[in-house]
Amino acid sequence: MSVAIRTIESWTSLSSNNTYESSWTTLETVVHNKLEDFVEKQNILVLYPALNEPLSAKFYHSHAYKTFRTRSPHMIHELIHSMRENEEWIMKRCGDYARYDLRRVIWSLSILRTEILQNSPFKLFYDQEPDAKEWNVAIKRLANREKNQWFTSTWLFAECYLYRRIWAAFRRAETLRNFDYFSPIKFNTAQGLANLMNNIVIATRGLPLNQMNFQLMLKLSLWSNRCDLSNTADPPNDEMLQLIDEYDKDLIIDQSMDVWHLLSENKQTSRQPIVIDIVFDNAAFELFSDLLLAEYILETGLAQKVRFHVKSIPWFVSDVTAADFHWMLNSFLRNNLVELSAFGHKMRSLLRNQRLELCSINDFWTKPTGFSSMRQLSPCLYVELSFSTLVIFKGDLNYRKLLDDINRSSTTPFRDCFGGFIPTSICALRVIKSDIYSGMPLCTVDWLTEDDPHWMMRGEKAVIQLAVKTSP
Ligand SMILES: O=P(O)(O)OC[C@@]1(O)O[C@H](CO)[C@@H](O)[C@@H]1O
């Protein structure tokens, strides 16, 4: 969006003979015609996503289309800007030669940006990374079906490919191969929120075990998903904790009570130590609120262990990597704010006595596939999850992967959309940021869309959904 705004501004300042209004109208027509050209040339269908098909940018009225037309090119533009702006800082971390490597990386990123805007075919990976072969097989398979371009392939494949390409550009550079290029934005955001996090720590000390408090912690973790850094960059509200009840009006499906019943009944009956998994989404505030939820679950005996899952490479801008996790923990430990620092010490001791566990890195989480293929592609991970009482999937992308990114009718029951993926009971905490749904009340999506065709991209509405795995 802001890329378009910049173009508009520079154009209007050049055409000094025109009034602002007429230049604006002329420009709108130019932009519109250009868009029409693109739509026609690239065979974009001026339709909403087709039912029962995977989401794809080939549908003009879709978030996928918007992603590759504006969001992703803008994200790359911002990344280049951030690399330039942080050059000195990067050189301090990665050595003087990083200056030259940065030039090459920026050049590769600009090419990537152009490829998206021109809807070019996907290129193969020529790097030595263990997953390169697998990616190339998948790309060649798509090429055979003429679906190997940004706008014609599935959205999930293309967007995962985008982040794998960005990673490849940095991996090729000797001094930058282990540098997380999204870390400046993740670290700065987290640092700016220290006071808010400290206040929330104070307000949540010693919360007794009851349904209300459990729902509060679960919902805090849910609404923190509003604060990803790729889609909704708005900072969390200072009064977030106090506003949770008010946010209920935006909670379209709220199964938090069912989650409570599942866990509290399990606490009474289980003879085994109870394990719960959280598949993280975003770093900074969302990660903090997920840690708070884990702490509450352990303190109140709803589980004896909570395991965390992170991404193996920098992903979708703000997804949590192992380095982000450790960075955040250390930043708490070193913090001058007493309660935040005490929270850091508590987390560290829970990790040391293995009541919290950061699971070993698994590259399944960054594969361009939905979770229905986990059993086949990553059987050990599937088995590991099946020992858990509940897996909590955070965020929009995990939700899309749960549904295999297929646009089913919005009222299809949640569990019926998993394509057989049910290692254990599954809870999704998702702020809606894309055009895919399940288990929605009849007509809800139609009514919301009638009021505001872009509601699903705004990250204002949310769902808490649960699929219980019953014993065979
Ligand atoms: O997963 P998250 O952080 O909640 O969602 C972030 C997001 O930008 O990533 C996805 C792809 O762009 C979208 O589905 C979504 O809008």
Are residue 285 and residue 191 in the same domain, yes or no? yes
What contacts 331, CB < 8 A, 6 or more positions away? 190, 191, 194, 344
* Distance of CA 332 from the midpoint of ligand 1 (Å): 27
What is the token pair recorded at 471? 């014993």
Q: What is the pLDDT of residues 252-302, one digit of tens each?
A: 999 999 999 999 999 999 999 999 999 999 999 999 999 999 999 999 999
Are residue 55 and residue 31 in the same domain, yes or no? no
The CA-atom distances, in angstroms, between 382 and each of 100, 362, 403, 415, 448 are: 43, 11, 16, 17, 36
Are residue 382 and residue 243 in the same domain, yes or no? yes
Are residue 19 and residue 75 in the same domain, yes or no? no
Residues of the chain with pLDDT under 50: 1-25
Measured by CA distance, the residue closest to atom 7 of ligand 1 is 231
The CA-atom distances, in angstroms, between 131 and each of 313, 362, 366, 455 are: 12, 12, 10, 36
Are residue 137 and residue 228 in the same domain, yes or no? no
pLDDT at 6: 27
Are residue 98 and residue 22 in the same domain, yes or no? no
- Is the minimum distance from the CB of 67 to ligand 1 under 6 angstroms? yes
- The enclosing H or E element of 252 equals strand 251-254
Are residue 96 and residue 212 in the same domain, yes or no? no
Q: At 227, is the secondary structure helix, strand, or coil?
A: helix
Nearest Cα to Cα of residue 127 among 168, 75, 81, 67: 168
Pocket test for ligand 1, best of 366, 397, 430, 437 (most atoms within 8 A of CB): 397
pLDDT at 471: 74
What is the token pair recorded at 354? 């293995």
What contacts 432, CB < 8 A, 6 or more positions away? 252, 396, 456, 459, 460, 461, 462, 463
Measured by CA distance, the residue closest to atom 9 of ligand 1 is 397
* Distance of CA 432 from the midpoint of ligand 1 (Å): 9
- Is the minimum distance from the CB of 316 to ligand 1 under 6 angstroms? yes
Q: Give domain status of residue 6, yes or no.
A: yes
pLDDT at 3: 28
Pocket test for ligand 1, best of 225, 231, 279, 394 (most atoms within 8 A of CB): 231
* Distance of CA 230 from the midpoint of ligand 1 (Å): 7
Q: Which of 178, 208, 228 is where one domain is finished? A: 178
Are residue 110 and residue 248 in the same domain, yes or no? no
Are residue 334 and residue 444 in the same domain, yes or no? yes
Are residue 115 and residue 258 in the same domain, yes or no? no
- Is the minimum distance from the CB of 72 to ligand 1 under 6 angstroms? no
Q: Give domain status of residue 171, yes or no.
A: yes
- Looking at the CA of residue 400, tell me the nearest atom of ligand 1: 14
- Is the minimum distance from the CB of 64 to ligand 1 under 6 angstroms? no
pLDDT at 36: 74
Cα separation of 313 and 317, whole Å?
Answer: 10
Measured by CA distance, the residue closest to atom 3 of ligand 1 is 228
Please state the pTM of the whole predicted model.
0.92
What CATH number should be reported for the domain holding residue 90? 1.20.930.60
Q: Give domain status of residue 341, yes or no.
A: yes
Tokens 């097989």 correspond to 137
Per the structure, the complete domain to which residue 24 belongs is given by: 1-36
pLDDT at 146: 83
Are residue 13 and residue 47 in the same domain, yes or no? no
Q: What is the pLDDT of residues 347-365, one digit of tens each?
A: 999 999 999 999 999 999 9
Q: Is the ipTM value over 0.90, yes or no? A: yes
Domain count, the chain: 3
